Amino acid sequence: MNDAIQGTVYGKNVELVNDPGFKEGQRVEVVLRPVTSEGQPVCSAAGMLAGIPGLDESIDKIQRDRKLAPYRTDSL
């Protein structure tokens, strides 16, 4: 089962909107993400880039190229 159920945090407790369907005392793994008032997950800028194939390699190449670039001065 890999469902998302919304709830409200009260200290160390989370009150779920719906019954998750597990037996009482069942151990579970919980991943928490804040949601907007409209109920949509809040995405961070880094999270929006997650999963793009080749992105890490592209960023690594940009950083290497910047380190190798000669120092420039503006001639204004």
Host domain of residue 28 = 7-68
Q: What is the pTM of this model?
A: 0.43
- Structural domain contains residue 46: yes
- Structural domain contains residue 74: no
CA distance 62 to 68: 10
- Structural domain contains residue 73: no
Q: Report how many domains make up the chain.
A: 1
* pLDDT for the residue 4: 81
- Structural domain contains residue 76: no
- Structural domain contains residue 13: yes
CA distance 64 to 57: 11
- Structural domain contains residue 51: yes
Q: If the chain, 76 residues long, is cut into consecutive pieces of 10 residues, what is the mean pLDDT of each piece?
A: 81 90 91 73 64 84 85 63
CA angle at residue 7 from 30 to 17, to 5 degrees? 115
